[in-house]
Amino acid sequence: MTRDPEPTGLVPVTAFDGARQSPMPQDRLRAVRHAAEAFRAEMLDAPPVHHARSFNLLRIPYPAWFAFTGVYSQQMLKPHMVHLLARTTLIQYDDFDGQLRTLLFTPADFEAGNETPYFKRLGEQTPKFLHSTIAPVYATVPQALAAAGVAPEQVDYITYDHLHTQDVRRWLGIGGMPGLLPRAKLLVHRQELASVRGLLPLQAEWYCPHGIDGVADARIVAFDGSVRLGPGVALVHTPGHTEGNHSLVYRTPDGLRVSSENGVSADSWSPAESRHNGIRRYAKATGAEVILNGNTQEGSNDQYLSMVLEKTLAGTSATHGFSNVVPSSECTPHWLFPGAPTSHLWGETRFGTPARR
């Protein structure tokens, strides 16, 4: 399933090679599910990571017809807007050489990210005195690190499931300056990096202009396919939402966690079990196993396959009955946007204690 480490320390994963090559979509679905089952067994043989903790960063107003693609268009979902609660997750693990590593998943620089065209227009249409009410901020990335007791120079890697709305220059620096995370390198799928450097207009709506411009090549590690960072951590290519989308997978004491923004709630990966009548009826009427987060829909069939891959890889929680897939930005209740589908809230998660080098 895996090969020897490359010079970067990343180990290529072969489990999903060729799984999407069949011309028949149902054959692709079966192959992806089978590959995910095999890779799940391999990941479960690994020890848990030392520490994992997520932090609330900010709320983002988001159209419901993007968040729950298909359900809203069938008039089975009433709210026009929902709130996505963006989080960053700190993971500490041993790499394949036994070295302690610290990874930050989706560390958003939301001030720079406001330049994303879609959200910039939304902000311009909203009176400034309402901004902090509509999009409240709970913490910055440096504050999250301080709360975890981790110094910025301890961070080895940052990564995002995709680069929508992201500007990494504050973290990685430009023009010879080291940035606020002076040792960190960006792990990014090679296709995502290529997309950012040559976007079509429909894609550009969701990417922060110049978000990687001026970042030194030495601070960017591009990879192909899926890779393992250590025995208990992997980045699995899950295309569809964007062509270079990848999902974070890590071993926990009770199984596996998978995280991405392919979906926005527990309901997205388990619609048949949803406590929201509209989502459950939609799943029953269409046979859909998953509900896509579809603001771009670069490849809806691929995104569907990727979400099935994620839920198969993650497994089902014995505690709450939903897939162990944690949205990187979670649909959460808020008085401004009532009626948001939230059958199970992950909230901030934590296990283990921060390690010291």
pLDDT tens, residue by residue, 307-353: 999 999 999 998 899 999 999 999 998 888 877 788 999 999 999 98
Residue 274 lies in a domain: yes
How many whole angstroms separate alpha carbon 239 and alpha carbon 245? 5
Residue 6 lies in a domain: no
Supply the DSSP symbol for 27: H
Q: What is the pLDDT of residue 341?
A: 81
Residue 348 lies in a domain: no
Per the CB < 8 A criterion, the answer to whether 271 and 74 are in contact is no
Residue 77 lies in a domain: yes
How many whole angstroms separate alpha carbon 232 and alpha carbon 223? 18
SS3 of residue 153 by DSSP: helix
Q: What is the pLDDT of residue 107?
A: 98
Supply the DSSP symbol for 47: P
Q: What is the pLDDT of residue 75?
A: 58
Is the Cα dihedral 206, 208, 209, 215 positive or negative?
negative
Half-sphere exposure of 196 (CA within 13 A, CB side): 24
Domain that holds residue 280: 11-334
105 - beta bridge partners?
89, 159
Residue 204 lies in a domain: yes
Residue 114 lies in a domain: yes
pLDDT tens, residue by residue, 95-137: 999 999 999 999 999 989 889 998 899 888 888 877 788 889 9
Tell me: pLDDT of 16 over 90.
yes
Number of H helices, E strands in the chain: 12, 14
Is 253 exposed, middle or buried (CB count within 10 Å of its CB: 0-12, 13-18, 19+)? exposed
State residue 31 phi and psi, 5-degree precision.
Answer: -70, -40
Q: What is the pLDDT of residue 77?
A: 58
Average pLDDT in the chain: 92
Q: What is the pLDDT of residue 2?
A: 60
Mean pLDDT (whole number) for 66-75: 78
Look up residue 70 and give its two tokens: 């298909």
Helix 25-44 to helix 300-314 angle (10° resolution) is: 30
Look up residue 332 and give its two tokens: 């959460």
SS3 of residue 52 by DSSP: strand
Residue 2 lies in a domain: no
**CATH number assigned to the domain comprising residue 40:** 3.60.15.10
SS3 of residue 30 by DSSP: helix
101-111: buried (b, 16+ CB within 10 Å) or exposed (e) per residue?
Answer: bbbbbbbbbbe
Per the CB < 8 A criterion, the answer to whether 308 and 31 are in contact is no
Mean pLDDT (whole number) for 14-29: 98
Q: What is the pLDDT of residue 175?
A: 85
Q: What is the pLDDT of residue 227?
A: 98
Per the CB < 8 A criterion, the answer to whether 86 and 302 are in contact is no
Q: What share of the chain is helix, strand, coil (3-state, %, to 5)?
A: 30, 25, 45
The tally of domains found in the chain comes to 1
How many whole angstroms separate alpha carbon 234 and alpha carbon 228? 4
Residue 357 lies in a domain: no
310: closest CA among 296, 295, 327? 327
Q: What is the pLDDT of residue 317?
A: 92
Supply the DSSP symbol for 328: S
The percent of residues in the chain predicted with pLDDT above 90, rounded, is 78
